[in-house]
Amino acid sequence: MEKVRSAALARAPGGVMRGVAARLHLDKAAAFWLAELDATWSLGERRARVERVIDEAPDVKTFVLAPGGAWRGHRAGQHVTVEVEVDGARVRRCYSLSSAPSDPRPAITVKRVEGGRVSDWMHRRLRPGGVVGLGAPAGDFTLPEVTPPKVLLLSGGSGATPVMSMLRALAGGGALGDVVYAHCARSRADVIFATELAALAALHPRLRVALHLGAPLDEPGLLALAPDLAERETFLCGPSGMMAVAERVWEAHGASHRLRRERFSVPRPTAGGAKVRLQLAASGRAVDADPGATLLEALERGGERPAYGCRMGICNTCRCRKRSGTVVDAVTGAVSSEPDEDIRLCVSVARGDLELAL
């Protein structure tokens, strides 16, 4: 009887399988066996099978995914949490979706970071047929419902991923009006999606693709990319230094309200002052933190190995109870000074000595 049931479940499409599973009140063990039947889904967990791997540029690969039935699509500009197993441990990182929302095969485009645990593993080990855990799409760095008349998609390095999803969405939806796609890269060979960008520019006369190669971006460089930048609804994603320059320029032009940003890493606070002491209650150890360092960085430098995911205050993997002391969130500027508050180590910077529950 059980064999017949399993065979019927295996043949049924994802939605029917979930319905049947719910009716049978399947427990964890059954979920495991169902996951064995189809590795791209299990109860309560999203997974995706890697369908294709594309070499985009040196050290940049796109992983085209075939998600399980739980996938509900994304909005252009959003990111997902990807979970993989590296050396026996399950680790998570955030990746922006680079594909158009209409594409049934979502894609992430990953730059290999020197010494990076997940990106390096993905580049070396993740092949077609491999399975990754996939969180729900999240984030509010998205195109507005009504496309603005003048758009600037501005990116640097792997920051191209969310804005490429936006460009693909606009082009696919026939809404490719007055759009500048401006990208900064070390060299022409490092420009991600170069072939598709050229093809889109040839197809859409109102799309202008502008590149800034080599030298770090400055105000003249920005104005060369988009002389009317202050008039454009701008979507920016790139390395911290480039984003800081852009923020200053938009502010100087009185156009900060037109600048929307996605960060892959925590902005560097201006460091100054003395070291502070992080007292760790559970282990009894103590770590000295450099001024301006996030608690995660300080703990890592001090030899601790706290769990982390996005390093950006998104995934909550590094959430930790602060017993006493004051921290500031380097992304939002929020201050936590009450005792026994939960904070995220990856974005918190100490304003004095602290005691953590670790």
Ligand X SMILES: Cc1cc2nc3c(=O)[nH]c(=O)nc-3n(C[C@H](O)[C@H](O)[C@H](O)COP(=O)(O)OP(=O)(O)OC[C@H]3O[C@@H](n4cnc5c(N)ncnc54)[C@H](O)[C@@H]3O)c2cc1C
Asked if residue 119 binds ligand X (CB under 6 A), the reply is yes
Instruction: Give me the least distance between CB of 88 and ligand X, in Å please.
Output: 16
Q: Which of 93, 168, 183, 212 binds ligand X (CB under 6 A)?
A: 93
The residue of the chain with the least Cβ separation from ligand X equals 116
Among 18, 47, 61, 111, binds ligand X (CB under 6 A): 111
Calculate the CA dihedral of residues 182, 164, 92, 57 and round it to 10 degrees.
-70
Query: Encoding tokens for residue 44?
Result: 């309560």
177 vs 302, beta carbon nearer ligand X: 302
Task: Show the binding pattern over residues 171-210: x = contacts ligand X (CB under 6 A), - = does not.
Answer: ----------------------------------------
Q: Site for ligand X (CB under 6 A): which residue of 123, 168, 212, 311?
A: 311
Least Å distance, CB 253 to ligand X, is 26
Instruction: Tell how strand 150-156 and strand 178-185 pair up.
Output: parallel
Q: Does the protein bind ligand X through residue 158 (CB under 6 A)?
A: yes
Q: Which pair of structure tokens corresponds to residue 261?
A: 């940003």
What CA–CA distance (Å, rounded) separates 51 from 105? 9
- Piece of the chain touching ligand X by CB under 6 A; list 2-10, 118-126, 180-188, 199-207: 118-126
The position carrying tokens 């930790």 is 320
The stretch near ligand X (CB under 6 A) out of 28-36, 63-71, 111-119, 219-227 is 111-119
142 in contact with ligand X (CB under 6 A): no
Tell me the torsion sign for CA atoms 138, 52, 184, 171.
negative
Query: What is the H or E stretch that residue 278 is in?
Result: strand 276-280
Q: Is 287 in the site for ligand X (CB under 6 A)?
A: no
- The SS3 of residue 282 is coil
Least spacing, CB of residue 202 vs ligand X, in Å? 26
Minimum Å distance from CB 137 to ligand X? 11
Query: DSSP string of 99-137?
Result: S-TT-SS-EEEEEPPTT-HHHHHHHHH--TT-EEEE---
| Residues of this chain, 225-264, that bind ligand X according to CB under 6 A | 264
Binding segment toward ligand X, per CB under 6 A, in 104-112, 146-154, 184-192, 339-347: 104-112
Least gap, CB of 314 to ligand X (angstroms): 6
Contact pick of 74, 79, 212, 258 for ligand X (by CB under 6 A): 79
Backbone angles phi, psi at 19, to 5 degrees: -60, -45
How long a stretch of residues is the chain? 358
Pairing of strands 233-237, 150-156: parallel
d(CA 339, CA 353) in angstroms, rounded, equals 13
Question: Is 120 among the residues that bind ligand X (CB under 6 A)?
Answer: yes
Return the structure tokens found at 295.
Answer: 């608690």
Cβ proximity to ligand X: between 4 and 89 the closer is: 89
- Answer for which of 40, 42, 96, 147 binds ligand X (CB under 6 A) is 96
**Candidate ranges 47-55, 94-102, 126-134, 168-176; the one touching ligand X (CB under 6 A):** 94-102
Q: Which residues of 112-147 are buried (b: 16+ CB within 10 A; e: fewer)?
A: beeeeebbbbbbeebeeebbbbbbebebebbbeeeb
Distances (CA, A) of 184 to 148, 168, 221, 238, 250: 23, 19, 10, 9, 17
Q: Which of 30, 314, 320, 345 binds ligand X (CB under 6 A)?
A: 314
Could you tell me which of 75, 69, 157, 78 has the C-alpha nearest to residue 119?
157
Choose between 18 and 74: whose C-beta lies nearer to ligand X: 74
User: CB under 6 A: which stretch of 110-118, 148-156, 199-207, 242-250 binds ligand X?
Assistant: 110-118
What residues line the site for ligand X (CB under 6 A)?
A: 79, 93-96, 108-111, 113, 115-120, 158, 161, 264, 300, 310-312, 314
